[in-house]
Amino acid sequence: MAETAEQMNDKLALAKSLVAHLESGNEDDADSAIAELAGFTDSLLFQEIGRLTRELHNSINSFVADAHLVSIAQNEIPDAAERLRYVIATTEQAANTTLGAVEDSLPLADSLRAEARRLSEQWEKFNSRQLSVEDFRDLTSEMSHFLEITQANSDALHDKLSEVLLAQGYQDITGQIIRKVIDLVKDVETKLVELVRLSGPHAKPREKSRQEGPDTTAQGPAVPGVDKGDVVTSQDDVDDLLSSLGF
Amino acid sequence: MKILIVDDFSTMRRIIKNLLRDLGFTNTQEADDGVTALPMLQSGNFDFLVTDWNMPGMQGIDLLKAVRADDKLKGLPVLMVTAESKREQIVEAAQAGVNGYVVKPFTAGTLEEKINKIFERVAA
């Protein structure tokens, strides 16, 4: 506590008069001098407490009055949860669209391959002059049929591939949504840091709860740069680890 | 060859189902977690189990342990296909008796290789 020179002089004067009163055996005056000396300390203490209280009051008020904080708690956090659910729904839909198109496309490609193989066998025979006139007539009609299904299947494959192409639009949409949620998380972080500052040195970070044995609870996919620790980074790592265990 | 695919994401079940079909395994069924999968295994004469780890309800690791603890099922080959990639987890799965471990994201080649390896070993 900083004291002014004046306060120091007053104290010194009081102390001198206290000694004088005691030496002259004047007990009443000595007592009142002691009380006055004590008053000095008390008033400084009260001033300091007053200052701290005002600071705390102002900080809490400005924290509470921050409308953005209210909006974060009431709207933005529930919104973010909804956004992330939408990300799951969107990615699931895109994956299903893509898988559906692939499932539809594979038989188209398979039938083209099978038909082409059969025709090329016949064509081989024709080239080596093993085909009768009648067989050749069949071959030409099969050939025109093949050309027809080639066109039809190619058109269908083109449509399916376009579907797959379009379905990838989910990346753009989900990327934007996730970016928004990241901004919100950063905002909340800033506010939390403020709150920790307000609660001062009394709030100490809780120690991580200790666990017996290795932690093998499910973590979800490891995110590069976020999930640290003993995580394998490739299938090769998994294979090495398992072979070291006798697999 | 009758195969049960267990994963809580239907898209991943579809991907695995399609990859298996490409490998010639057409007789597959699906379950979305261990709670659904275990009774299917107990009554379904399955030859092979492909399971995720992280699922609501009963997790894949607990399903694996339940399979190994069941007299009728304990010999069932189990392949884990999961995004769980901590060394401790892989060790735990190995100790619980997993036959193969594939980390997501994976390729068709990796899946084929692990499945072939498991069947070679089972046949030997």
| DSSP code string of A178-197 | HHHHHHHHHHHHHHHHHHHH
Residues 100-139 on A with a CB inside 8 Å of B are 102-103
Cα distance from B36 to chain A (closest Cα, Å)? 19
Per-residue pLDDT averaged across A48-70, rounded? 78
Q: Tell me if residue B28 falls in helix, strand or coil.
A: strand
Q: What is the pLDDT of residue A217?
A: 81
Q: Tell me the per-residue pLDDT of A97-114, one tens digit each, with 9 for 90 and over.
A: 999 999 999 999 999 999
Nearest chain A residue to B55 by CA: give it.
A218
Q: Which residue has the higher pLDDT, A58 or A19?
A: A19
Indicate whether A1 pLDDT > 60.
no
**Tens of each residue's pLDDT in chain B, 124 residues:** 999 999 998 888 988 998 898 889 999 999 999 999 999 999 989 999 999 999 989 999 999 999 999 999 999 999 999 988 899 999 999 999 999 999 987 888 899 999 999 989 888 7
User: What sign results for the dihedral spanned by CA atoms B118, B122, B123, B124?
Assistant: positive
Q: What is the pLDDT of residue A202?
A: 62
Q: What is the pLDDT of residue A206?
A: 62
Q: What is the pLDDT of residue A2?
A: 54
Q: Please tell me the distance from the alpha carbon of residue A9 to that of residue A11, in angstroms, as a whole number.
A: 5
Q: Which residues pair with A231 in a beta bridge?
A: B86
Indicate whether A230 pLDDT > 90.
no
* Chain-chain contact of A238 with B9 (C-beta, under 8 angstroms): no
CB-CB: which of A99, A216, A245 is closest to B89? Answer: A216
Chain A CB contacts of B11 under 8 Å are 91-92, 95-96, 99
Determine if the pTM surpasses 0.90.
no
Minimal CA–CA distance to B55: which of B37, B77, B68? B37
Q: What is the pLDDT of residue B22?
A: 82
* Chain-chain contact of B90 with A232 (C-beta, under 8 angstroms): yes
Q: Tell me the per-residue pLDDT of A89-99, one tens digit each, with 9 for 90 and over.
A: 999 999 999 99
A221 in reach of chain B (CB within 8 A): yes
